[in-house]
Amino acid sequence: MSKYAKIKRFNAKSCKIKSFKELAEKGIKINYGNNITDTLTQPFIMSGKKYRTKINILKYKLKNKRKPTDILVFTDGFSFSSMSLFIKILQYYGGGIIVGYFGNPNIKNIPFDSSLSPSGVFKNDTLYNINPDAYKKLHDKYGITMTITGIQFFYNPKDLRIPIEYDINPVDEKVDIYEIFTERNYNTFIQEGIKIIKKYKAYCNPKNKRLVLVSSECDIFFENNYTHGGYKCGDDEKWSKKCVPSYCDIGYIFDHIKKKCIIDACSANHKIFFILISLTMMTISVILLLFFFIMINKKYNKDKLNPQKYISLELGYLQLDNNNQLNF
């Protein structure tokens, strides 16, 4: 990890950069049962303040507010690494409707997990460097290409008992599509997607309470102005009138265990960020104002060099020539 995982690691509490040695000093021993144990490093974040600031700037440019029930992701359940992590995290935070396709039509009682393996992996080139003798022989002589799990991900840094890798996340909906996605069947996916989005205007998945029908009408029921949410899914598969929090303004992260917004350590300087944004807007306003006065001043000086007379009318001014005659 220290030699070949070329990534920056940030402390989960302070978002300060940490070396692999510092993270490994106080290892966390996990007992999975059946005499299976493992020692993990301290949890760390891979995206620090610099990355988060770039994301926040992009968010400020977005014109439309987040509406998870307008976002739909099709999955065949096979994805791994970053694609799998995207689906799992999106689903965990109630970011969209997850729809499974290419499932086994004969299996009814087994949940359709949204993806396969949301863990960081060492790919072929990295393994080549880690063990050039053994892996080179496997790859060059026998044509074997491998990826090996190197980083485990967790929903909550305070609960390291079960990695996301071993958590089951059933999809919200399943569709009867049993073919690989191509340009040829693109319209089939579109039509199925439209049906589901229309369905979720009134109906929902009672087994997924994290997906809510976002509404600004619910904001008055929360304890502060940076917490937002919507209507909770009822057990009758319809949206209820009960408001629940589900997401936060920039600078905060919604904690699904505490059911509240907590400060995002990597955006801990969000107040400074807001001040910088405000100062930038004020600076632009001042520059525009100065530009306006300069243009007015130029116009005024020009009029002094070319004096004209004006006659006042109810709806404006009409210019007179030097003989006090109206010009039309």
| Segment 225-284, tens digit of pLDDT | 999 999 999 999 999 999 999 999 999 999 988 999 999 988 855 555 555 555 665 677
Closest CA to 209 of 165, 173, 244, 163: 244
> pLDDT tens-digit profile of 109-167?
889 999 999 998 888 888 888 888 888 888 888 988 888 888 889 988 888 888 899 89
pLDDT at position 211 is: 97
Tens of pLDDT along 102-124? 988 888 788 999 999 999 888 88
Q: How confident is the model at residue 296 (pLDDT cuts 50, 70, 90)?
A: low
Report, in angstroms and rounded to the nearest whole number, the Rg of the chain calculated over CA atoms. 29
SS3 per-residue string spanning the chain: CCCCCCCCCEECCCCCECCHHHHHHCCEEEEEECCEEEEECCCEECCCHHHHHHHHHHHHHCCCCCCHHHCEEEECCCCEHHHHHHHHHHHHCCCCEEEECCCCCCCCCCCCECCCECCEEECHHHHHHHCCCHHHHHHHHHCCCCCEEEECCCCCCCCCCCCHHHCCCECCEECCCCCCCCCCCHHHHHHHHHHHHHHCCCECCCCCCCCCEECHHHHHHCCCCCEEEEEEECCCCEEEEEEEEEEECCCEEEECCCCEEEECHHHCCHHHHHHHHHHHHHHHHHHHHHHHHHHHHHHHHHHHHCCCEEEEECCEEEEECCCCCECC
State how far the Cα of 164 lies from the Cα of 97, in Å rounded to an integer: 19
Structure confidence at residue 87 as a pLDDT band (50, 70, 90): very high
- At residue 173 the predicted structure's pLDDT band, cuts being 50, 70 and 90, is very high
User: What is the band of 308 on the pLDDT scale with cuts at 50, 70, 90?
Assistant: very low
- pLDDT at residue 207 tops 90: yes
pLDDT (0 to 100) of residue 316: 36
Q: What is the model's pLDDT at position 314? A: 38
So what's the pLDDT on residue 80? 87
Residue 71 exposed, middle or buried by CB count within 10 Å (0-12, 13-18, 19+): middle
62-71, 218-227, 270-279: least confidently modelled range: 270-279
Give the pLDDT of residue 301: 60
Check residue 318 and give its pLDDT: 38
Nearest CA to 202 out of 177, 234, 178, 162 is that of: 234
pLDDT surpasses 80 at 53: yes
Length of the chain: 328
Which pTM was predicted? 0.76
β partners of residue 170: 113
Higher pLDDT, 161 or 202: 202
Average pLDDT over residues 280-300: 67
- CA 93, CA 86: separation in Å to the nearest integer? 11
- Per-residue model confidence (pLDDT) at position 268: 56
Q: Give me 268's structure tokens.
A: 């801990």
What was the pLDDT predicted at 107?
Answer: 81
